[in-house]
Amino acid sequence: DGGITQSPKYLFRKEGQNVTLSCEQNLNHDAMYWYRQDPGQGLRLIYYSQIVNDFQKGDIAEGYSVSREKKESFPLTVTSAQKNPTAFYLCASRGGVSYGYTFGSGTRLTVV
């Protein structure tokens, strides 16, 4: 069964720590995306990657970093520079003839 897997589902971080959110897809999609959702707000684009070894900043990239060393994987690191990291993080991919995204089930990050 093809899909996108995000892990962990819940993540707690102490202030000042970096954490990495995992996103893996077996859909053979070229493009992958990271969005953030806050209460009462839409999904905001953090980073995206159209092909392996290439990625671009989205609208709210400050305090985040990504890598795209493999087609299947697009991990997101939330660094200590991100001032308000508590949010629901969504990974998505797109490929083939579809112009829509397939989303993972999300990771809820809480700073404690």
Partner 1 sequence: DQQVKQNSPSLSVQEGRISILNCDYTNSMFDYFLWYKKYPAEGPTFLISISSIKDKNEDGRFTVFLNKSAKHLSLHIVPSQPGDSAVYFCAASPSETYKYIFGTGTRLKVLA
Chain residues binding partner 1 by CB under 8 A are 4, 6, 31, 35, 40-45, 48, 58, 88, 90, 92, 94, 99-106, 108
CB of 80 to partner 1, least distance (A): 26
Looking at the Cβ atoms of 6 and 82, the one nearer to partner 1 is 6
Looking at the Cβ atoms of 80 and 88, the one nearer to partner 1 is 88
Of all helices (H) and strands (E), which one includes residue 21? Answer: strand 19-25
56 CB neighbour count, 10 Å cutoff = 11
CB of 77 to partner 1, least distance (A): 20
- CA Rg value for the chain: 13
Compute CA 109 distance to the chain's CA centroid, rounded to the nearest angstrom: 12
Looking at the Cβ atoms of 73 and 102, the one nearer to partner 1 is 102
Looking at the Cβ atoms of 36 and 72, the one nearer to partner 1 is 36
CB of 69 to partner 1, least distance (A): 22
Compute CA 67 distance to the chain's CA centroid, rounded to the nearest angstrom: 11
Report d(CA 4, CA 81) in Å as an integer: 27
CB of 50 to partner 1, least distance (A): 9
What one-letter code names the amino acid at 56?
A: Q
